[in-house]
Structure 1
Amino acid sequence: MATYRHDVLIIGSGAAGLTVALRMSPDARIALLSKGELTSASTYYAQGGVAAVMDQQDSLESHIKDTHVAGAGLCHEDAVRKTVENGPDAIRWLIDQGVGFTRFEEDGRQGFHLTREGGHSHRRVIHVADATGLAISGALIDQVGRRQNVELFEHRTAVDLIVQDGRCAGAYIHNPITGRTDVFLARAVVLATGGASKVYLYTSNPDVATGDGIAMAWRAGCRVSNMEFMQFHPTCLYHPKAKSFLVTEAIRGEGGHLLLPDGSRFMHQFHERGELAPRDVVARAIDFEMKRLGADCLYLDISHRPADFIINHFPTVYAKCLQLGIDITRDPIPVVPAAHYTCGGVITDMHGRTDLPGLYAIGETAFTGLHGANRMASNSLLECFVFGQAASEDISAQLKTLPEPRNAPEWDDSLVTDSDEDVIISHNWDELRRFMWDYVGIVRTVKRLERAMHRIDLLKREIAEYYSNYRISSDLLELRNLVVIGELIIRSALQRRESRGLHYILDFPEMEAEAKDTILVPDQD
């Protein structure tokens, strides 16, 4: 087993982690870890774009107001203002990194093409057709690959953080290829591991989104907040061969209609903005209509727009659907809601600092207060760039004064054996995701939540026993983290005695007058 030493350890290779690496002082020795390939982060799959004020008809105050409205009164003013005000600079930085955003030219005017998504009162989502995440991920990975001070480690799974003298000093990192668990020591550690939507049976997220950073930070003593606010994307492609394929919200932004199986529209019955209502409203409306009708899916139709427009604006969705026999220039797209974004997370300040000195959390892993009770479309990538810069500046400013970690004990697996019962892992994984979907999904009740908590308690004991006696694997580590995530979501949901934003509970359908965060403290566990 090996010990690695760096100045900064970044766990995660999405927009947040890559931004920190690129924004750091060039004399800092950086290790950047990815659970799979460098592209195996949620960023790579993002279709829509980045929300930022780039048009003279728009304003920072309008973007701020829209974010607060979407967040149902729970957004933190300092986080919203910091993110929005730094938006235009973040876009310029991305352009400097080589991101080729889609442009337009018509009637003698030219510039960046901006689209509009749910919750936005203006066109302010800058994009690269409908594959923005792929373009951003590619450009930033290319830039990181040129940095001599950044060492890249692919196919690594974080196990737990290393704490020395009350501060984070690194992490134990499992290498599934060699079977070793190595020690990575650093003066500062950045969790950029993404969200936790794989805790649900149906999700738009890649397989790596198992809440590893949130679970590790919780075990290390960090507070978490607002884990009950799990965003369900209203429109994921419903097809047996379309695993986790998201249908971009920009289709509704460009005039797409949501339809019942009989072809009739319904969103106007739920919100004055119709298809452009905030995501929680749209997802709940689709869920309601599916349950009312007993339908397996509903439909999203853009076929009334010109075929050339559809193919040029949504080439990724067009190509994917065509592979499955659906021509979106003529046919409606079958869609269902799916778990999409973790609005809560590890509590941080405006520099990305957590409760544990030396530990930072950025992006979907973090709770900055930006998203409130419901994330507004395309604010998430912007948060990665803004807070990634803030964290890198904070670390760089004090790097030389941070203590050098002492040697840490090697990972000891001498007293455990190889398991011959891996079926337990797959069974528990499936059981967890199914009851989270059934009992802790888009619409909740106290009774459902209590049932889910009872099952979580049983799984925790089973997994802890398994973890103690057998050699670890990536599947076991992810399951161990997902059970923590499931418990945090359920405990947070039981504490909130109201319906607000993404948390809709039939026992308490009204929203309370005072907006409060749900904060969980490990010592009170």
Structure 2
Amino acid sequence: MKTTDVLIIGTGLAGTYVALNLPTHLEITMMCHHSTNSTLAQGGIAISLDQKDSFEAHIEDTLTAGRHTNKLDAVKTLIENAPYQIQTLKKLGVEFDYDAQKKIHATLEGGHSYPRVIHAGGDQTGQSVMSLLDQKIESANNIQILKGASLLELVIHDQQAIGIVYEMNETIQVIYAKHIVMATGGLGDLYTHTTNQEGSTGEAIAIAAFAGAKCQDMRYIQFHPTAYKNKDKGYFLITEAIRGVGAYLLDAHKNRFMDPIHPLKELAPRDIVSKAIYDVIASTQEAFVYLDTRHLKTKYLKERFPNIYKTLEKDGLTLGVDLVPVTPVAHYAIGGICTDLMGRTNLMNLYACGEVASTGVHGANRLASNSLLECLVFGKNVAEHIVSSHEHISLPSITKDPLDTWKHTKTTVSNSYKIHKACVQEIMTKYVGIVRYDHQLKLAKSELIRLLSPLKKIRFDHVDHAKSYNLVSVSLMVVEDALNHESLGCHYKEIEKKGLKSCKDL
């Protein structure tokens, strides 16, 4: 029987930080299927450093962005623990960018009342942090990583999470653990247009929900306002820190349009900027708006945003010279598996941390650059609770082999998952985007149920069918939650449109 002390699903910042905060005498197994989104984070980490700034101001900005639906104790926990976590990162070797006065440089982003977003490598904060932490993980003798593992089922015994059934190298296996941490990131890959890595489809939410874990706020999908369509690599996020240093948004007629919409103009919270761009695109019938940096110096932009500069340069665009076409795309899942401040779910010994979790810290809309901080603060809390409870946890006697359910499941190559994923992406992109209508959501629900019904019967026939079942189920959770709630923050519903037609036959 394969066992481990702590099983961490996901190798992004949340999972990695949990692992590095656990004592070395614990045996830790980390499991991943796709590349982490943490490496893509450009902007940075929000922390109050300015003398004029304060915890109270950061808390208020977070609440304002979240429409004051945030859980206040979670917000305070996040922000008041920020300095300690940043000091920890510095001790681990993370090198943040400094200003001329040799202080950590902080920039302004949307929804923030003060410059408080610190960064590393210019616009490569996620990459800078993760490259260092990955080295720490790889050199740790007590940590093993299982790469290419697909989640199939959470094993439960008397309301206690005790293991995971997974497929790897065309073999279905089970691993048991005293503590299981879900840290798999978001579900942006349910959409055709996204900043997320391929594979970010929320399967951990699905298997946790099937096992009885409570989930919440699935309707809140944040769209990043400014993504650039690469000529060969899909969508590339352009951090709002560029707007923080003065870039404008222009419509197809080269006019600024945010001035009358919000006092912060281009630096309004993300949901407001994304909705404004959506309206402009709809009115002009253009596929994008423009990011204008022509009034800023190219040399400065090249030094401050080296990754963005190089990416655009490959497509023949120069920051400070050319207008950059941008559009909103699916970016961040605010809802997920319900947890308390220590990352605990309602299932014993099951934790969730990072984007896959829902602590209530973001409310109805996430404030820019609070996400990496969330991974750090709540990742540390998860590790602390595991340490405090470990001696009191023991695995029960296993009376039924969970692999019995999967013993006839085929693992050979199949196109089923790709086909179902393409169908889901079409439905979600068409009907569950920035602006939603009840009629469209009902169409989406009926189409997803139509996909799900046959999968229930063949779920255990093939690994691809099981993965498809998870994929469609998570999408249905988003749609049903959207139908059951009124417009707020990221979840923006408008008055019904008449004469809508159903999805084409899938």
Q: Same fold (TM over 0.5)?
A: yes
Structure 1 residue aligned with 2:503:
none
Equivalent position of 1:440 in the other structure: 432
Given residue 507 of structure 1, which amino acid in structure 2 is its aligned partner?
I
- Residue equivalent to 1:523: none
Q: CA RMSD in A?
A: 1.7
Instruction: Determine if contact 1:186/1:405 at 8 Å carries over to the other structure.
Output: no
Q: Note closer, same or farther for the CA distance 1:170–1:59 as it changes in structure 2 (3 Å cut).
A: same
* 1:239–1:334 CA contact under 8 A, matched in 2: no
3-state DSSP of counterpart to 1:9: strand
* Match in the other structure for 2:447: 455
Give the secondary-structure state (helix, strand or coil) at the position aligned to 2:308. Answer: helix
Partner of 1:256: 247
Partner of 1:127: 119
Query: AA paired with 2:340?
Result: D
SS of the residue corresponding to residue 101 of structure 1 reads coil
Tell me if 1:487 matches 2:476.
Answer: yes
- Helix, strand or coil at the partner of 1:469: coil
Q: Distance in 2 between matches of 1:92 and 1:488?
A: 38
User: Structure 1, residues 255-279: CA drift from partner, whole Å, max 9, x if none?
Assistant: 1111112211111121111100000
SS in 2 for 1:350: coil
Separation of aligned partners in 2, 1:180 and 1:387: 33
Query: How big is each residue's C-alpha offset from its partner over 1:431-489, in whole Å with a ceiling of 9 and x where there is no partner?
Result: 1111111111111111011000000101111333342323x14xx55432221111111
Question: Any conservation in 2 of the 1:33–1:156 contact (CA below 8 Å)?
Answer: yes
Tell me what 1:83 maps to. 78
Alpha-carbon contact 1:182-1:410 (below 8 Å) kept:
no
- Residue type matched to 1:123 in 2? P
Displacement of 1:151 in angstroms is 1.4
CA distance in 2, matches of 1:507, 1:218: 31
* Alignment pair present for 1:503 and 2:491: yes
Q: Distance in 2 between matches of 1:158 and 1:355?
A: 20
Q: Is 1:161–1:168's contact at 8 Å kept on the other side of the alignment?
A: yes
**Structure 2 CA distance for partners of 1:414 and 1:477, relative to 1, 3 Å:** closer
Aligned counterparts, 1:126-275, within 5 A = 126-128=118-120, 129-175=122-168, 178-275=169-266
Q: Report the Cα offset of residue 411 of structure 1.
A: 2.6
Cα gap change, 1:416 to 1:31, in 2 (>3 Å): closer
- Please say if 1:329 is aligned against 2:317: no
Q: CA shift at 1:57, angstroms?
A: 2.1
Asked whether the 8 Å contact 1:236–1:338 carries over to 2, the reply is: yes
| Equivalenced residues, count | 494
Letter in 2 for 1:333: V
Q: How do 1:347-426 and structure 2 match up within 5 A?
A: 347-407=338-398, 409=401, 411-412=403-404, 413-417=406-410, 422-426=414-418
Q: CA deviation at 1:145?
A: 1.7
With the length of structure 2 as denominator, give the TM-score of the two structures: 0.94
Check the 8 A contact 1:191/1:213 in 2, yes or no.
yes
Letter of the 2:6 partner, please give it. Answer: V
* Closer, same or farther: CA 418–58 of 1 in aligned 2, 3 Å: closer
> Which has the higher mean CA deviation after the structures are superposed, 352-361 or 89-98?
89-98
Displacement of 1:240 in angstroms is 3.9
Q: 1:467 to 1:143 in 2, by over 3 A?
A: same
Residue in structure 1 matched with residue 501 of structure 2 by the alignment: none
Which secondary structure does the structure 1 equivalent of 2:163 belong to? strand
Q: 2:270 aligns with which of 270, 279, 284?
A: 279
What CA deviation, in whole Å up to 9, does each residue of 1:88-116 have, x standing for no partner? 111111111111111111xxx22111111
Question: What secondary structure does 1:281 align onto?
Answer: helix
In structure 2, which of residues 17, 38, 43 is the aligned counterpart of residue 43 of structure 1?
Answer: 38
Question: Following superposition of structure 1 onto structure 2, how do residues 503-522 of structure 1 map, counting pairs within 5 Å?
Answer: 503-507=491-495
Partners of 2:123 and 2:253 in 1: how far apart? 28
SS of corresponding position for 1:275:
helix
Paired position in structure 2 for 1:520: none
Q: Following the alignment from structure 1 to structure 2, what is the Cα–Cα distance between the partners of residues 491 and 250? A: 34
Match 2:294 to one of 292, 303, 324: 303
State the percentage of identical aligned residues: 36
Shift of residue 122 of structure 1?
A: 0.5
Q: How many angstroms apart in 2 are the aligned matches of 1:482 and 1:505?
A: 24
For the pair 1:30 / 2:18, whether they are aligned, the reply is no
- Residues 334 and 405 of structure 1, relative CA distance in 2, 3 Å threshold: farther
| Deviation readout 1:357-396 (Å, 9 max, x if unpaired) | 0100001011101000000000011011000000100010
Give the deviation of 1:131 after TM superposition: 0.6
- The CA distance in 1 between the partners of 2:394 and 2:410, in whole Å, is 37
Can you list the C-alpha shifts for 1:397-431, whole angstroms capped at 9, x where unaligned?
A: 110110124346263454345678x4443332111
Do structure 1's residue 12 and structure 2's residue 7 form an aligned pair? no
CA apart distance, 1:207? 0.8
Instruction: For 2:167 and 2:479, locate their aligned partners in 1 and report how far apart those are by CA, in whole Å.
Output: 29
Checking the alignment, whether the CA contact within 8 Å between 2:434 and 2:491 is kept in structure 1 is yes
- Listed one character per residue, the Cα deviations across residues 49-93 of structure 1 (whole Å, up to 9, x for unaligned) are 011112222100000000000001211100000000001111111
Aligned-partner residue type, residue 491 of structure 1:
E
Q: Could you list the per-position Cα deviations for residues 210-255 of structure 1 after superposition, in whole angstroms to 9, with x for gaps in the alignment?
A: 1022111101101111111100000110244231311111111111
Q: Residue 502 of structure 2 corresponds to which residue in structure 1? A: none
Secondary structure of the 1:501 match is coil
- SS of equivalent residue, structure 2 residue 311: helix
Which secondary structure state, in structure 2, belongs to the residue aligned with residue 137 of structure 1? Answer: helix
State whether residues 227 and 326 of structure 2, in contact with CA within 8 Å, keep that contact through their aligned partners in structure 1: yes
Once residues 258 and 233 of structure 2 are traced to their aligned partners in structure 1, the CA distance between those partners, rounded to angstroms, is 25
Q: 1:43 to 1:419 in 2, by over 3 A?
A: closer
Structure 2 unpaired stretches of 5+:
497-506
Tell me if structure 2 keeps the 8 A contact 1:116–1:123: yes
Residues 386, 416 of structure 1: alpha-carbon distance in 2 compared, 3 angstrom cutoff: closer
Q: Does 1:70 align with 2:33?
A: no
- Whether the 8 Å contact between 1:49 and 1:378 is mirrored in structure 2 is yes
Moved more, 309-318 or 457-466: 457-466
With structure 1 as the length reference, what TM-score do the two structures score? 0.91
Q: Secondary structure at the match of 1:245?
A: strand
2:345–2:352 CA contact under 8 A, matched in 1: yes
Please tell me the residue identity of whatever aligns with 1:397.
S
Partner SS state of residue 267, structure 1? coil
What secondary structure is seen at the aligned counterpart in 2 of 1:453? helix
